[in-house]
């Protein structure tokens, strides 16, 4: 009876013409999902081969939400049978509708959060799934196993799951202990054909790396070493990670397009943060208290330090990412309505992925970049290319890097030696001069971002608010630039557009032939312009004045005693 009522309510929700009936059905279904009978009825509908797609998805979603929120109302003796039923359903829908499969994977992942490791047997939840799927053909097992390996680490921080904090922490530890098993499975999956399989492997790899959370996670490197045959004598496990097949596949994925490219970007961004150690003291010369882990960790005394053992991995990552600069340049040309041709047909999302990689390199390796040696020019130039991107959303992704670098340059060295003041001042000035051209270019690139569009008056209220917010962001970044360049040099760069507006007009062209002159007299000229035929660009003038007034003048006045480098 309950199943028939459920199906009738779903039919009314999706197919009835009466809106009142739809609303009543929706309310009934919401109440029904909270009932105890929803466990058995949803399970029965999913096992019924005649159920409609709508019923299958709703019931899979119901089981997922029941496991997440109402697990404690389930008798303990029913947990194993629920787990087996969910697994059976997942295998059944492995080639079915992906949304149903995803809901079932989320239900099993939520179950893993609730159920302690000992109930999954030796090797924990990852090994349990691997054993269950191993007898199945790859075309059935792979989609399910890879999606499970993707969502399992994500559920560590899913607060949709009603679980006590101590159990959540225990689950996180269980998964970290299972990292080696997960890497082993993912590595074996790379041998299977198909671009979709490769994409799922990279998605799962990135998901497991996210367990790092900007903190040292030795198990990642140790697990990589275990699945690569172990580290050699005297070789650090982090060095093994540099040549691990999953890292290689992620770097190769940067040369792909579509979903594979985005999965590779996510994975490499996570790999980048495994190479820094927030427990190490910041290197000398790093005194910015605002620099730390992306999640607020770190010692709070400077940018994250790079362990010597991580250098092989850094040397593999950075050149591969810098190799995307040409591709990003082509995407920027398209973003600016250009017609440049390239090997890749990248959209704005792909450009955003490349910009994200450049920004992650800059922020994670600030302790190297601040050394101001020629080898760091490539990442800095790549971030200037991000600033130059036509879309402001992508351009502004780099602003945090410029802020952190400015703080490092302004705060100077922090070795603490008693006789090193003169040396520190000289080194601080050397570094400032090294980065001065980059900050000058930064000012030139962003000063026009605050210019009102000709169609500004027609923008919606939200669009105008967004534009004003972007102006504030530019003002903050100009403040950072002024701290490095000095007020005078920054001001001279900001008044350049005003000077250009007041420049003398170009010499007049040679007199046209008589027939051209008559045509000009009848229809030519620019009544709104000056004698040269140019109109006064008041929007450019207003933008320059805004940058001067709100970008550096007021902000510098508020700084009151904060150190600002003198312009050279």
Residue-level pLDDT at 84: 96
Residue 243 has a pLDDT of 79
Residues 284-308, mean pLDDT to the nearest whole number? 56
Residues 440 and 550 in one domain: yes
Average pLDDT over residues 218-227: 55
User: What is the Cα–Cα distance from 486 to 275, expressed in whole angstroms?
Assistant: 34
Judgement on whether residues 326 and 435 belong to the same structural domain of the protein: no
Length of the chain equals 568
DSSP annotation string for 42-92? HHHHHH-TT--HHHHHHHHHHHHHHHHH-GGGS-GGGHHHHHHHHHHHHHH
- Mean pLDDT for the stretch of residues 164-192: 92
Q: Which residues neighbour 197 within 8 Å (Cβ) at sequence distance 6 or greater?
A: 142, 146, 189
84-88, 204-208, 497-501: least confidently modelled range: 497-501
Higher pLDDT, 447 or 334: 447
72 belongs to a structural domain: yes
Residue 528: per-residue pLDDT: 39
Q: How far apart are the first and last CA of the chain?
A: 84
For residue 37, give the DSSP letter: T
**Co-location of 215 and 233 in the same domain:** yes
The predicted pLDDT at position 480 comes to: 93
The predicted structure's pLDDT at residue 284: 52
Write out the E strands in 467-560. none
**Domain-located, residue 150:** yes
Same domain, 110 and 188: no
pLDDT at residue 541, as a whole number? 87
65 and 162 fall within a common domain: yes
Number of domains the chain contains = 4
Does residue 5 belong to any structural domain of this protein?
no
Q: Return the DSSP state at 276.
A: E
Residue 523 pLDDT grade (very low, low, confident, very high; cuts 50, 70, 90): very low
pTM > 0.95: no
Asked if residue 110 is part of any domain, the answer here is: yes
pLDDT digits (tens, 9 = 90+) for 410-420: 886 655 554 56
* 107: containing domain: 34-177
Check whether 44 has a pLDDT greater than 90: yes
Per-residue pLDDT at 561: 42
Mean pLDDT for all residues in the chain: 83
Q: Is the pLDDT of residue 48 over 50?
A: yes
68 shares its domain with 168: yes
Structure confidence at residue 241 (pLDDT) = 73
The answer on pLDDT for 88 being more than 50 is yes
Q: Given pLDDT bands bounded at 50, 70 and 90, which one contains residue 363?
A: very high
Which pLDDT band, with edges at 50, 70 and 90, does 517 fall under? very low
Does residue 514 lie in a domain region? no
Same-domain status, 169 and 185: no
């Amino acid at each position: 009876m309950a199943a028939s009522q459920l199906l009738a309510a779903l039919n009314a929700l999706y197919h009835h013409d009466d809106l009142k009936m739809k609303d009543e059905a929706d309310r009934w279904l919401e109440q029904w999902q909270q009932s105890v009978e929803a466990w058995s009825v949803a399970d029965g509908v999913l096992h019924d081969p005649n159920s409609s797609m709508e019923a299958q998805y709703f019931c899979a979603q119901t089981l997922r939400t029941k496991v997440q929120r109402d697990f404690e109302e389930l008798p303990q003796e029913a947990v194993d049978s629920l787990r087996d039923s969910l697994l059976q359903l997942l295998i059944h829908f492995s080639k079915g509708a992906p949304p149903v499969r995803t809901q079932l994977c989320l239900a099993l992942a939520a179950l893993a959060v609730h159920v302690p490791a000992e109930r999954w047997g030796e090797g924990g939840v990852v090994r349990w799934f691997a054993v269950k799927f191993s007898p199945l053909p790859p075309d059935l097992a792979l989609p399910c196993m890879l999606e499970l390996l993707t969502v399992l680490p994500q559920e560590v921080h899913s607060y949709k799951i009603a679980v006590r904090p101590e159990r959540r922490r225990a689950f996180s530890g269980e998964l970290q202990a299972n990292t080696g098993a997960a890497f082993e499975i993912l590595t074996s999956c790379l041998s299977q054909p198909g671009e979709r399989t490769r994409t799922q492997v990279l998605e799962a790899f990135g998901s497991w790396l996210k367990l790092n959370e900007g903190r040292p996670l030795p198990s990642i490197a140790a697990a990589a070493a275990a699945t690569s045959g172990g580290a050699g004598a005297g070789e650090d496990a982090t060095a093994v990670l540099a040549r691990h097949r999953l890292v290689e596949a992620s770097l190769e994925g940067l040369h792909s397009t579509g979903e594979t490219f985005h999965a590779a970007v996510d994975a490499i961004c996570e790999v980048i943060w495994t190479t820094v150690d927030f427990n190490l003291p910041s290197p000398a010369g790093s005194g910015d208290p605002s620099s730390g882990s992306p999640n607020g960790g770190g010692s709070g005394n400077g940018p994250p330090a790079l362990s010597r053992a991580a250098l092989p991995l850094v040397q593999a990552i950075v050149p591969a990412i810098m190799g995307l600069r040409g591709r990003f340049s082509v995407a920027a040309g398209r973003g600016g309505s250009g017609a440049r041709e390239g090997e890749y047909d990248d959209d704005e999302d792909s450009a955003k992925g490349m910009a994200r990689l450049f920004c992650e390199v800059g922020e994670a390796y600030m302790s190297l970049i601040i050394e101001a040696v020629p080898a760091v020019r490539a990442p800095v130039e790549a971030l200037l290319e991000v600033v130059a991107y036509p879309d402001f959303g992508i351009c502004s992704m780099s602003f945090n890097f410029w802020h952190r670098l400015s703080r490092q340059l302004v705060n100077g060295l922090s070795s603490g030696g008693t006789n090193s003041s003169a040396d520190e001042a000289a080194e601080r000035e050397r570094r400032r001069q090294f980065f001065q051209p980059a900050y000058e270019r930064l000012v030139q690139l962003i000063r026009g971002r605050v210019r009102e569009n000709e169609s500004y008056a027609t923008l919606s209220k939200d669009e105008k608010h967004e534009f004003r917010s972007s102006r504030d962001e530019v003002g903050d970044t100009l403040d950072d630039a002024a701290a490095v360049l000095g007020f005078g040099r920054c001001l001279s760069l900001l008044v350049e557009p005003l000077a250009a507006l007041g420049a003398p007009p170009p010499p007049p062209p040679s007199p046209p032939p008589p027939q051209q002159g008559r045509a000009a007299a009848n229809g030519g000229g620019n009544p709104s312009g000056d004698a040269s035929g140019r109109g006064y660009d008041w929007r450019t003038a207003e933008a320059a004045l805004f940058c001067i007034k709100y970008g550096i003048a007021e902000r510098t006045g508020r700084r009151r005693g904060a150190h600002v480098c003198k312009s050279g």
